[in-house]
Amino acid sequence: MSTLTEVEAVIVAGGRASRMGGVDKPALEVGDRTMLGTALAAVEGCARVTVVGPHRDDLDPHIHQVQESPAGTGPVAALAAADPTADLVVTLAADLPFITPGTVVALLEALNSDAHAEAAFAVDTDGRLQFLLAAWRTPALAARLAALGGDVANRPMKVLLPERHVTVPVPETTDCDTPADLHAARRAHPGRIAADPAEARRLLRDALLPVPSRVVPVAEARGATLAAALVAAEALPPVPTSAMDGFAVAGDGPWVLRTEIRYAGDGSALTLRDGEAARIATGAHLPEGATAVVRDEFVHVDGDRVTRLPDAPVRDDARRRGEDWEPGKVLAQAGTPVAPAVASAAASGEVTRLEVRGPLRVHIVVTGDEIRRSGPLRPGQTRDSLGPVLPDLVRWCGAEVSGEGHLRDTADGFDALLSGTRDADAVVIVGATGGGAADQLRGALARAGAHTVVERVRCKPGGSQVAAVLPDGRAVLGLPGNPVAAVATLLVMLPAIVDGRTGRIPPAPLLGPLANAEEVAGDITRLLPARQGTDGRWLCDNAVRTSHLAGLIGRTAVAVVPPRAVDGDLVELIPLPR
Ligand SMILES: Nc1nc2c(c(=O)[nH]1)N[C@H]1C(S)=C(S)[C@@H](COP(=O)(O)OP(=O)(O)OC[C@H]3O[C@@H](n4cnc5c(N)ncnc54)[C@H](O)[C@@H]3O)O[C@H]1N2
Ligand code: MOO
């Protein structure tokens, strides 16, 4: 067979996947790399590799990048844009998480084994032809494209099918078109031990698919994430307005004072003729004919005569229509949380409804036969010191509580929990990450068809946490039972679930310099209660009892202290609720 050095590869990696909430499908991770990364690995060694789609800054510079025109017009347009020149070309999609270099070799061998064949196509286990997973004689592909006479946009791949072709059974053809496909592909890969909390967050965020968006009145959007940009519907100000208490004037002055006074909220008709002035209040709309506003401090009024003071600066104290923005101005991009400023800017821009995802609805469960919420403790029981405060912590992370419960340590109970909380977007389970209880949680996750994203994290406390995704997209976060570990893990991980499921752009972490790093840093990342000293540096508590939250009293944040940190290092600070 030919060596790969005579072969080009074209990877079709376009557009936003509409069936997956508009995510960038080639960038989704399955296993330990993106699906585009899997495609690139499969064609490594080819003479030239072309990726067709939106430009990706993170690709190796030797990879050729082109975009079909217009963008998003399908695979035929993408192949036309790639324009390969080597004798042979391998084409593949960027949503095939199981293809390998062997898949590519099998296609090329099949093509070479039949001198008359113009192309070799993969067929899946059901015998269906995979048009994009193919090897072509490049002139044959060029001829098929030329025969379309430039009409390549949004054409089905079958228009390229040459009469003389061979097929190759390829078991790795499973593609990822829907969330269910993606979920099934990911389940085939084991969960990971994350190197630190930052990696755990990234893995979880990337494994989650956004919930469907909805259009709601602004007041109902608080706490959600914008799914579409907030675009001003009206100019601000919509009409010329006075910025000061003073006089609306027409012309250069001096002016004759009209008896009418222009108050804010006054919409009556008033027209100034050249040489006239009228008293006006801050926020009032300018009368017709007004050329400027002069504030009280800059004029002298004598009867009905108004003159500008000789040393007063000549300045217009009016706000002009559109001075702040014109209609169509993007006030906040998609992915922005609907915080008070966003809701307020929507009001200023005359926008009454927003397209949003979320707020994230979280179902909270504490587990453990020994845990008791209220009433006197019986022998063997432990007071539930987490259940009463978890709702506050969940809301602090920017989510809503859709339900709460206490679960006994039985397999049935865990199964019922996972199948019965479908109105939630995420399930937070406390105290089932280690020992026997963990088997209940992991067993129930396996029976429910979950994909475990994070199996453990290299950090202390919180190392035993589990994060998984259920087939319907719900996130499951298993928090360690020790209360300090549970709180630290929740504060680190729940915001990542909000990001992943609502499409929120991850907020930049809050950073601060450490005061006593050398005392508290260990071999793995530590999550420690911290407070700010008078010199502005952050002091961490080294010896923290994890069985109660009293150690968090008077502390402002949980510091994420990386291994071998030194004094003065900037570290992430996760604010604690006040
Ligand atoms: N042999 C080992 N045992 C444990 C290890 C270990 O590495 N080897 N790790 C310890 C650490 S660290 C943690 S954290 C816990 C994690 O265990 P689970 O997530 O399964 O949690 P539980 O065993 O159910 O509970 C641990 C601890 O916390 C108390 N707890 C649980 N829920 C509450 C609540 N709502 N309010 C107050 N206290 C709660 C529970 O009674 C236990 O004392 O495993 C350690 N063991
Ligand atoms: O895993 Mo435990 O969470 O270290 O405290």
Q: What is the DSSP letter of 523?
A: S
pLDDT tens-digit map of 263-301? 888 778 899 999 999 999 999 999 999 999 999 999 999
Looking up tokens 């390549």, which residue turns up?
A: 152
**Do β-strands 330-332 and 230-231 pair in parallel, antiparallel, or remain unpaired?**
antiparallel
Atom nearest to 438 CA in ligand 1: 20
Atom nearest to 433 CA in ligand 2: 1
Ligand nearest the Cα atom of residue 527: 2
Looking up tokens 């506003």, which residue turns up?
A: 293
Q: Whose CA is nearest to atom 43 of ligand 1?
A: 482
Residue 419 backbone dihedrals phi, psi, to 5 degrees: -90, -15
| pTM > 0.90 | no
> Alpha-carbon distance 446 to 197, whole Å?
24
560 Cα: distance to centroid of ligand 2 (angstroms): 14
Query: Does residue 15 register a pLDDT over 80?
Result: no
Coil, helix or strand for 60? coil
Q: Is the CB of 464 under 6 A from ligand 1?
A: yes
Q: Is the CB of 370 under 6 A from ligand 1?
A: yes
pLDDT tens-digit map of 328-368? 999 999 999 999 999 999 999 999 999 999 999 999 999 98
Atom nearest to 461 CA in ligand 2: 4
Name the burial class of residue 160, with classes exposed (0-12), middle (13-18) and buried (19+) by CB atoms within 10 angstroms of its CB.
buried
Name the burial class of residue 385, with classes exposed (0-12), middle (13-18) and buried (19+) by CB atoms within 10 angstroms of its CB.
middle
Q: Whose CA is nearest to atom 24 of ligand 1?
A: 431
Q: Whose CA is nearest to atom 3 of ligand 2?
A: 462
Atom nearest to 478 CA in ligand 1: 19
Ligand nearest the Cα atom of residue 438: 1
Q: Assign 183 a pLDDT band (cuts: 50, 70, 90).
A: confident
Mutate to test the pocket of ligand 2, among 455, 466, 546 (most ligand atoms within 8 A of CB): 546
Atom nearest to 384 CA in ligand 1: 36
pLDDT tens-digit map of 167-182? 998 888 788 888 888 8
Q: How far is CA 83 from the centre of its chain?
A: 34
> Alpha-carbon distance 430 to 477, whole Å?
8
Residue-level pLDDT at 147: 92
Atom nearest to 486 CA in ligand 2: 3
Mutate to test the pocket of ligand 2, among 386, 454, 456, 482 (most ligand atoms within 8 A of CB): 482
Give the 3-state DSSP-derived string for 110-174, with helices as H, strands as E and coil as C.
Answer: HHHCCCCCCEEEEECCCCCEEEEEEEEEHHHHHHHHHHCCCCCCCCCHHHHCCCCEEEEECHHHC
Name the burial class of residue 281, with classes exposed (0-12), middle (13-18) and buried (19+) by CB atoms within 10 angstroms of its CB.
middle
Nearest CA-CA partner of 12 in 54, 58, 69: 54
Contact 358, 208 (CB under 8 A): no
The secondary element (H helix, E strand) that includes residue 259 is strand 255-262
> Alpha-carbon distance 413 to 424, whole Å?
17
Q: Whose CA is nearest to atom 4 of ligand 2?
A: 461
274 Cα: distance to centroid of ligand 2 (angstroms): 78
Residue-level pLDDT at 145: 92
Q: ipTM strictly over 0.90?
A: yes
375 Cα: distance to centroid of ligand 2 (angstroms): 28
Ligand nearest the Cα atom of residue 466: 1
Ligand nearest the Cα atom of residue 435: 1
Q: Whose CA is nearest to atom 46 of ligand 1?
A: 434
Atom nearest to 488 CA in ligand 2: 3
Residue-level pLDDT at 227: 97
Q: What is the DSSP letter of 374?
A: S
Q: Assign 1 a pLDDT band (cuts: 50, 70, 90).
A: very low
pLDDT tens-digit map of 462-496? 999 999 999 999 999 999 999 999 999 999 999 99
> Alpha-carbon distance 307 to 256, whole Å?
9
Bridge partners, 452 (sequence order)? 468
Ligand nearest the Cα atom of residue 369: 1
> Alpha-carbon distance 578 to 572, whole Å?
18
Ligand 2 shell residues, CB under 6 Å: 460-464, 480, 482, 485, 546
Atom nearest to 464 CA in ligand 2: 1
